[in-house]
Protein backbone atom coordinates (compact mmCIF):
# COMPACT_ATOMS: atom_id res chain seq x y z
CA UNK A 1 0.00 0.00 0.00
CA UNK A 2 1.42 3.35 -1.04
CA UNK A 3 1.45 6.05 1.62
CA UNK A 4 1.49 9.77 0.81
CA UNK A 5 3.15 12.04 3.35
CA UNK A 6 0.60 14.63 4.52
CA UNK A 7 1.60 18.15 5.63
CA UNK A 8 0.61 17.19 9.19
CA UNK A 9 2.97 14.20 9.13
CA UNK A 10 5.76 16.39 7.77
CA UNK A 11 5.24 18.67 10.79
CA UNK A 12 5.38 15.61 13.06
CA UNK A 13 8.71 14.59 11.57
CA UNK A 14 10.07 18.07 12.23
CA UNK A 15 8.70 18.04 15.78
CA UNK A 16 10.26 14.66 16.48
CA UNK A 17 13.64 15.97 15.36
CA UNK A 18 13.26 18.75 17.90
CA UNK A 19 12.21 16.26 20.59
CA UNK A 20 15.68 14.92 21.36
CA UNK A 21 17.10 18.43 21.56
CA UNK A 22 14.34 19.61 23.88
CA UNK A 23 14.70 16.68 26.24
CA UNK A 24 18.47 17.03 26.32
CA UNK A 25 18.31 20.77 27.09
CA UNK A 26 15.26 21.06 29.33
CA UNK A 27 15.14 17.68 31.07
CA UNK A 28 18.81 17.21 31.95
CA UNK A 29 18.03 16.44 35.59
CA UNK A 30 16.09 13.35 34.58
CA UNK A 31 18.01 10.10 34.81
CA UNK A 32 16.11 8.87 31.78
CA UNK A 33 17.20 11.84 29.71
CA UNK A 34 20.79 11.24 30.73
CA UNK A 35 20.57 7.69 29.39
CA UNK A 36 19.65 8.77 25.85
CA UNK A 37 21.39 6.58 23.34
CA UNK A 38 22.44 4.01 25.92
CA UNK A 39 21.96 0.30 25.25
CA UNK A 40 20.58 -1.23 28.45
CA UNK A 41 19.09 -4.71 28.43
CA UNK A 42 15.50 -4.66 29.69
CA UNK A 43 15.12 -0.95 28.89
CA UNK A 44 13.22 0.25 25.83
CA UNK A 45 12.76 3.81 24.60
CA UNK A 46 9.69 5.52 23.13
CA UNK A 47 9.58 9.01 21.64
CA UNK A 48 5.99 10.24 21.23
CA UNK A 49 4.84 13.37 19.40
CA UNK A 50 1.14 14.24 19.15
CA UNK A 51 0.04 17.22 17.07
CA UNK A 52 -3.68 17.74 16.55
CA UNK A 53 -4.96 14.46 15.06
CA UNK A 54 -1.56 13.02 14.24
CA UNK A 55 0.65 10.76 16.33
CA UNK A 56 4.27 9.77 15.79
CA UNK A 57 5.85 7.06 17.93
CA UNK A 58 9.48 6.00 17.67
CA UNK A 59 10.35 2.69 19.34
CA UNK A 60 13.97 1.74 20.11
CA UNK A 61 14.98 -1.47 21.86
CA UNK A 62 17.96 -3.76 22.25
CA UNK A 63 17.30 -6.95 20.29
CA UNK A 64 17.70 -9.06 23.42
CA UNK A 65 14.50 -7.54 24.86
CA UNK A 66 12.48 -8.89 21.93
CA UNK A 67 14.40 -12.00 20.90
CA UNK A 68 16.28 -13.14 24.00
CA UNK A 69 19.57 -12.94 22.05
CA UNK A 70 21.72 -10.46 20.11
CA UNK A 71 23.39 -12.66 17.50
CA UNK A 72 22.55 -14.63 14.40
CA UNK A 73 19.91 -17.33 14.86
CA UNK A 74 21.31 -20.72 15.88
CA UNK A 75 18.24 -22.83 15.13
CA UNK A 76 15.07 -22.94 13.03
CA UNK A 77 13.14 -21.95 16.17
CA UNK A 78 15.24 -18.80 16.62
CA UNK A 79 14.87 -17.94 12.93
CA UNK A 80 11.10 -18.35 13.24
CA UNK A 81 11.08 -16.13 16.35
CA UNK A 82 13.08 -13.44 14.54
CA UNK A 83 10.58 -13.45 11.65
CA UNK A 84 7.63 -13.29 14.06
CA UNK A 85 9.15 -10.27 15.82
CA UNK A 86 9.67 -8.53 12.46
CA UNK A 87 6.04 -9.21 11.56
CA UNK A 88 4.76 -7.91 14.91
CA UNK A 89 6.83 -4.72 14.68
CA UNK A 90 5.37 -3.88 11.26
CA UNK A 91 2.00 -3.38 12.95
CA UNK A 92 1.39 -1.40 16.13
CA UNK A 93 -1.08 -3.67 17.94
CA UNK A 94 1.70 -5.23 20.06
CA UNK A 95 2.53 -1.74 21.38
CA UNK A 96 -0.87 -0.05 21.80
CA UNK A 97 -3.52 -2.71 21.29
CA UNK A 98 -6.39 -1.28 19.22
CA UNK A 99 -6.34 2.22 20.72
CA UNK A 100 -5.45 3.85 17.38
CA UNK A 101 -7.21 1.33 15.14
CA UNK A 102 -9.21 4.05 13.35
CA UNK A 103 -6.07 5.89 12.28
CA UNK A 104 -4.15 5.36 9.04
CA UNK A 105 -0.73 4.00 10.01
CA UNK A 106 2.59 3.91 8.21
CA UNK A 107 6.13 2.93 9.23
CA UNK A 108 8.56 5.33 7.50
CA UNK A 109 11.49 3.95 9.51
CA UNK A 110 12.04 0.24 10.14
CA UNK A 111 15.50 -0.85 11.28
CA UNK A 112 16.20 -4.41 12.36
CA UNK A 113 19.56 -5.94 13.29
CA UNK A 114 21.53 -7.60 10.52
CA UNK A 115 23.46 -10.22 12.40
CA UNK A 116 26.72 -11.12 10.67
CA UNK A 117 27.60 -14.79 10.79
CA UNK A 118 30.67 -15.27 12.95
CA UNK A 119 32.51 -18.31 11.63
CA UNK A 120 35.12 -19.89 13.87
CA UNK A 121 38.31 -21.57 12.82
CA UNK A 122 40.95 -23.20 15.02
CA UNK A 123 42.94 -19.98 15.29
CA UNK A 124 39.91 -17.94 16.35
CA UNK A 125 38.89 -19.78 19.53
CA UNK A 126 40.69 -17.27 21.75
CA UNK A 127 39.16 -14.39 19.82
CA UNK A 128 35.69 -15.90 20.27
CA UNK A 129 36.24 -16.13 24.03
CA UNK A 130 37.26 -12.47 24.14
CA UNK A 131 34.21 -11.60 22.08
CA UNK A 132 31.92 -13.25 24.63
CA UNK A 133 33.59 -11.38 27.50
CA UNK A 134 33.08 -8.06 25.74
CA UNK A 135 29.49 -8.62 24.63
CA UNK A 136 28.41 -5.33 26.15
CA UNK A 137 30.65 -3.18 23.98
CA UNK A 138 28.67 -0.88 21.69
CA UNK A 139 29.94 -2.54 18.52
CA UNK A 140 28.39 -5.85 19.60
CA UNK A 141 24.96 -4.43 20.34
CA UNK A 142 21.96 -4.87 18.08
CA UNK A 143 18.86 -2.70 18.22
CA UNK A 144 15.43 -2.51 16.66
CA UNK A 145 14.16 0.95 15.70
CA UNK A 146 10.70 1.55 14.28
CA UNK A 147 8.84 4.79 13.66
CA UNK A 148 5.05 4.70 13.43
CA UNK A 149 2.98 7.55 11.98
CA UNK A 150 -0.76 7.67 12.67
CA UNK A 151 -3.08 9.99 10.74
CA UNK A 152 -6.30 10.01 12.75
CA UNK A 153 -9.80 11.30 11.94
CA UNK A 154 -10.30 12.60 15.48
CA UNK A 155 -8.11 13.66 18.38
CA UNK A 156 -6.14 10.75 19.89
CA UNK A 157 -6.82 9.78 23.52
CA UNK A 158 -5.27 11.88 26.30
CA UNK A 159 -3.50 8.79 27.64
CA UNK A 160 -2.31 5.54 26.11
CA UNK A 161 -2.08 2.03 27.56
CA UNK A 162 1.22 0.54 26.44
CA UNK A 163 0.73 -3.20 25.87
CA UNK A 164 4.34 -4.00 24.87
CA UNK A 165 5.02 -5.69 28.23
CA UNK A 166 2.44 -8.38 27.43
CA UNK A 167 4.04 -9.23 24.08
CA UNK A 168 7.74 -9.06 25.00
CA UNK A 169 8.73 -10.38 28.43
CA UNK A 170 12.27 -9.02 27.98
CA UNK A 171 10.98 -5.45 28.23
CA UNK A 172 11.19 -4.50 31.90
CA UNK A 173 11.03 -0.73 31.64
CA UNK A 174 10.08 1.82 28.98
CA UNK A 175 11.63 5.28 29.02
CA UNK A 176 9.24 7.68 27.27
CA UNK A 177 9.95 11.20 26.04
CA UNK A 178 6.86 12.97 24.73
CA UNK A 179 5.60 16.19 23.19
CA UNK A 180 1.85 16.83 23.06
CA UNK A 181 0.96 20.23 21.66
CA UNK A 182 3.10 22.64 23.68
CA UNK A 183 3.56 20.26 26.60
CA UNK A 184 6.52 17.91 26.96
CA UNK A 185 7.78 15.48 29.52
CA UNK A 186 9.28 12.13 30.38
CA UNK A 187 7.61 9.06 31.79
CA UNK A 188 8.88 5.76 33.09
CA UNK A 189 6.62 2.77 32.43
CA UNK A 190 6.72 -0.75 33.86
CA UNK A 191 4.43 -3.78 33.54
CA UNK A 192 2.57 -2.67 36.68
CA UNK A 193 2.41 0.96 35.55
CA UNK A 194 1.87 0.84 31.79
CA UNK A 195 -0.42 3.85 31.26
CA UNK A 196 1.18 6.83 29.54
CA UNK A 197 -0.37 10.08 30.78
CA UNK A 198 0.49 13.31 29.01
CA UNK A 199 0.47 15.58 32.06
What CA–CA distance (Å, rounded) separates 74 from 71? 8
> pTM of the full predicted structure?
0.71
Residue ranges per domain, the chain? Answer: 7-114+141-197
Mean pLDDT per 10-residue interval, the chain, length 199 residues = 53 51 38 48 94 95 93 91 95 93 94 66 42 44 93 90 95 96 93 91
Q: Give residue 88's pLDDT.
A: 95
Q: Give residue 21's pLDDT.
A: 43
Whole-Å CA distances, 137 to 4, 40, 62, 94: 39, 11, 13, 29
Q: Give residue 10's pLDDT.
A: 58
Residue 175 burial (C-beta neighbours within 10 Å; 0-12, 13-18, 19+): buried
Q: Give residue 9's pLDDT.
A: 55
Q: Give residue 155's pLDDT.
A: 87
DSSP summary character for residue 4:
P
Q: Give residue 67's pLDDT.
A: 94
Q: Give residue 41's pLDDT.
A: 83
Amino acid sequence: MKYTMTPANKRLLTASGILLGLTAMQLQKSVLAQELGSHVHGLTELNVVIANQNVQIEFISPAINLLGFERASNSPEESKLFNEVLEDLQAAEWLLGDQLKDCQMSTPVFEAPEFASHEMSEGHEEHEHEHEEHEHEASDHADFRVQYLFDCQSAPPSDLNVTAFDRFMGIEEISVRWIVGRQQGVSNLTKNNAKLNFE
